Homo-oligomer: A and B are copies of this chain.
């Protein structure tokens, strides 16, 4: 019997999404770049909220979405992320517990000297289904190395980290600590590059994480790969990527994805999508399917196919947390669940 208690541990910014429909001209008026994620402070969060339309609140956070879906597929999953002891923090904890994820990170207390509320991302969904994110990190900036429970890291087959963690400074240390413990116990460490602007902010450090072996597996979309290698040529980016990491999965929107290793690049077609309602979480759910597949010993193509299947499901409705039975979905598509 193995001593592994968790298939995947995710570490990320614990965020509740505040999703609202918006027209393109709203983005223009507000000076927002469609499809991007920008960080905002409390004041701007309030200002934008006042301007935006009626909203739905659904738990989010990139790694949180991934981990919730991995649990939904029936794997053993754990999550570290910092919420506050407020309504949104309780909602976040409820939602991730309700799908069976181990989540015990201590919330930031209201009496803390530098209290901040639970993070929220105001996500504007345009008629084309594209999402533009405005994130107030709040309590997430308090995630630090003390929140990394070594026993959980040691007990997790794969540790999955958000590139977004590189924004709140203390989280970097948490990230490095988790990677160290994981590797000391022979585990694998995965990183998602998260967003091309995030890559722009941290290009050198991300490349260093890959080249120094702090991470073993990278998730990225084509824009992020181009940003990482500062090239307009995806093939050139992928060629560079092959030299920098043992395994990468690169998503290509409606053209599917590529599995990249030092030896090989394999293309996998996208799953069919009836209607693109909201692309929020598409990358997160792709990572969920891929990581679940890895934990079950699927070959890389099957991992990418399961990722594509989950991504296709999530973009058919609003929000990045599915209320669909993912085991059924995967089983009907022929995966051995």
Chain B residues positioned under 8 Å from A95 (CB to CB)? 54-55
The stretch from A56-64, A170-178, A264-272 touching chain B is A56-64
The verdict on A54 contacting B99 (CB below 8 Å), with A88-B87, A94-B49 known, is yes
Instruction: State how many angstroms separate the Cβ of A184 from the closest Cβ of chain B.
Output: 34
Report yes or no: B323 in contact with A91, Cβ–Cβ below 8 A: no
Chain B residues positioned under 8 Å from A56 (CB to CB)? 56-58, 319, 323
Chain A contact-residue range equals: 20 to 34
Chain B residues positioned under 8 Å from A52 (CB to CB)? 98
* Cβ proximity bits A28-49 to B, threshold 8 Å, 1 near / 0 not: 0000000000000000000001
The verdict on A91 contacting B55 (CB below 8 Å), with A21-B323, A323-B20, A323-B21 known, is yes
Please give the count of copies of this chain that the complex contains.
2
- Quick one: closest B residue to A277, CB to CB? B317
- Quick one: closest B residue to A21, CB to CB? B323
Interface residues of A in 125-166 (CB under 8 A from B): none
Interface residues of A in 43-102 (CB under 8 A from B): 49-50, 52-59, 68, 86-88, 91, 94-96, 98-99
Q: Does A321 contact B (CB under 8 A)?
A: yes
Complex alpha-carbon distance, A87 and B55, angstroms: 13
Chain B residues positioned under 8 Å from A86 (CB to CB)? 87
Complex alpha-carbon distance, A318 and B316, angstroms: 12
Name the contact of A91 in the complex, choosing from B50, B53, B57, B98 (C-beta under 8 A).
B57
Chain B residues positioned under 8 Å from A55 (CB to CB)? 91, 94-95, 98
Complex alpha-carbon distance, A319 and B53, angstroms: 15
Binding site for B on A (CB under 8 A): 20-21, 49-50, 52-59, 68, 86-88, 91, 94-96, 98-99, 317-319, 321, 323
For the complex of A and B, the 5 pairs showing the least CB-CB separation, nearest first, are A87-B87, A54-B95, A57-B57, A21-B323, A54-B98
Q: A54-B99, A55-B94, A57-B58 provided; 8 other pairs, C-beta below 8 A?
A: A20-B98, A54-B94, A54-B95, A54-B323, A55-B95, A55-B98, A87-B87, A87-B88
